[in-house]
Amino acid sequence: MHTFCQIGLVAAVTGVGAGVSWVLNPYEPPGSVVCDPTRIAADQICAADVPEGALWIDARSREEWQANGVEGSILWNFDAGEDAMEMEANAAMALMDAQMAVVYCGSEACGTSRQVAEKVNDLGLGKEVKVLFGGWEALKDSSLVR
Amino acid sequence: MLFFIALFLVSRGYGGALQFASTTQRVDAASDTKFVESAFAFKNVSDQTVHIKNADAGCTCMGVGFEDKKLTYAPGEGGVLNARFKVGSYQGKVTKPIHIWMEGDAENRPSYVVNLEVFVPVMIDVNPKSVRWDLGDKRTQTIVVTMDYKKPIHVKKVKTTNEAFGTELVTVEKGRKYEIRVTPKVVDTPGLTVIQIETDADVARQRVQQAFGVMRSPK
């Protein structure tokens, strides 16, 4: 009995540890982006919640945008070789007909999308702008990308 | 029981083996700076040898690398993470995170994040960036252009891309402050104009500024 108690104690402690670990770090299959709308920042949006009629803005490099950007998206980044005025003007024109704007870059770790989102807000055109949670990683398996 | 709890905690890697002298580096860039460089010094404060897998800023604007390409650090050993940021068309305050993965870290869970904060002066302020009208509204609206630079910057020309909007340039203080008065000529059709403001700024990437005028349909 004493042995069974010890086994039970080890199992219980292990179970508690596993449970805490699961809560703190829920399992995510490698390469997937799990987006919980209740746990993302106020300026972010999950890919599944982006409405029809949103303007997608790609903040990655031109090469990446041309290779696999969202169909119908425009490019807006801060790369030295790009025409900043042209990208800004393209965005303003595209926003005229858009319900809102969603900016994405390579991954959740990339901060460029937030900076582009600020530029969109600074245009003062009155359109809502969000940053895509997970970046392009959240889109790569969807039908939205080229 | 305490043994198992301790074992659990250690297995989760709650230790913070690398200690950074500062996790945020702030750099002031000149208006025409093309590159900004900074360094993050760190030390292995654990009692185990640690192996760094990778560091990445997640954008093509920043190159990062460990001094001497060294990725393994013995207990007590120090190192430096170097960062080189390409300013491009960034202006104002720019914060770029750099993520650092240790061996064993999942792709989406880097162990450390350090930040490079770069301040690029804004020489020319255009406010507001857009002026808007609803159909039927023919008021004149004003965009103020203010210079903040060591020497005067003059507005040389203002032009619009859409003839449905007219502009008038007014000098408030030569080389320091200008007003662009925008008046819609067509008020029954939605449209947008790009208002291009050409200056004699000696920093090429800030020489041309732009604002927008929008005649919009009611919602």
Q: Could you tell me which of B83, B119, B79 has the C-alpha nearest to residue B99?
A: B83
H/E run at residue A95: helix A84-96
> What are the tens digits of pLDDT across the range A16-68?
776 665 555 555 554 567 888 888 899 999 999 999 999 999 999 999 999 99
Write down the pLDDT at residue B31.
Answer: 84
> What are the tens digits of pLDDT across the range A130-141?
999 988 888 887
Report chain A's mean pLDDT, rounded to a whole number. 85
CB spacing of A78 vs B90 below 8 angstroms: yes
Distance between start and end Cα atoms, chain A: 64
Of the candidates A14, A85, A123, which has its C-beta nearest B208's C-beta? A85
Answer whether B66's CB lies under 8 Å from B55's CB. Answer: yes
CB spacing of B60 vs A79 below 8 angstroms: yes
| Segments of chain B scoring below 50 in pLDDT | 9-14
B106 touches chain A (CB under 8 A): yes
Q: Name the residue of chain A whose CA is nearest to B106's CA.
A: A30
Whole-model pTM: value is 0.79
Token pair belonging to A62 = 């031109």
Size of interface A-B (CB pairs under 8 A): 96
Q: What percent of chain B has pLDDT over 70?
A: 93
Position A95 pLDDT exceeds 90? yes
B217 touches chain A (CB under 8 A): no
Q: Could you tell me which of A85, A75, A109, A143 has the C-alpha nearest to residue B210?
A: A85
Instruction: Please give the C-alpha separations between residue B22 and each of A53, B39, B52, B56, in angstroms, as whole numbers.
Output: 44, 10, 18, 18
Write down the pLDDT at residue B4.
Answer: 53
CB spacing of A17 vs B210 below 8 angstroms: no
Instruction: Please give the sequence-ordered ranges of beta strands (E in DSSP) within chain B, or none if there are none.
Output: 18-20, 24-28, 35-44, 50-56, 62-66, 72-73, 78-86, 92-102, 112-120, 124-127, 130-134, 141-147, 155-160, 165-173, 177-184, 191-199, 208-216
DSSP letter at B69?
G
Owner of token pair 């000149």: B30
Question: What angle in degrees, to the nearest 10, is found between the helix axes of B2-11 and A2-24?
Answer: 30
DSSP track, A7-68: HHHHHHHHHHHHHHHHHHS----TT-----TTTS-TTEE-GGGPPTTEEEEE-S-HHHHHHH
Write down the pLDDT at residue B11.
Answer: 46
Write down the pLDDT at residue A27.
Answer: 52
CB spacing of A30 vs B205 below 8 angstroms: no
Of the candidates A61, A80, A124, which has its C-beta nearest B128's C-beta? A124
CB spacing of B128 vs A105 below 8 angstroms: no
Answer whether B164's CB lies under 8 Å from B184's CB. Answer: yes
H/E run at residue A3: helix A2-24
Residue type, B209: Q
Beta bridge partners of B73: B50
* ipTM summary value: 0.76
Q: What percent of chain A has pLDDT over 70?
A: 88
Write down the pLDDT at residue B16.
Answer: 80
B186 touches chain A (CB under 8 A): no
Q: Name the residue of chain B whose CA is nearest to A34's CA.
A: B108
**Half-sphere CA count of A23, side-chain side, radius 13 A:** 5
Give Dmax over CA atoms of chain A in angstroms: 78
B107 touches chain A (CB under 8 A): yes
In which band, very low, low, confident or very high, does the pLDDT at A98 lie, cut at 50, 70 and 90?
Answer: very high
CB spacing of B61 vs A78 below 8 angstroms: yes
B5 touches chain A (CB under 8 A): yes
Token pair belonging to A123 = 């245009």
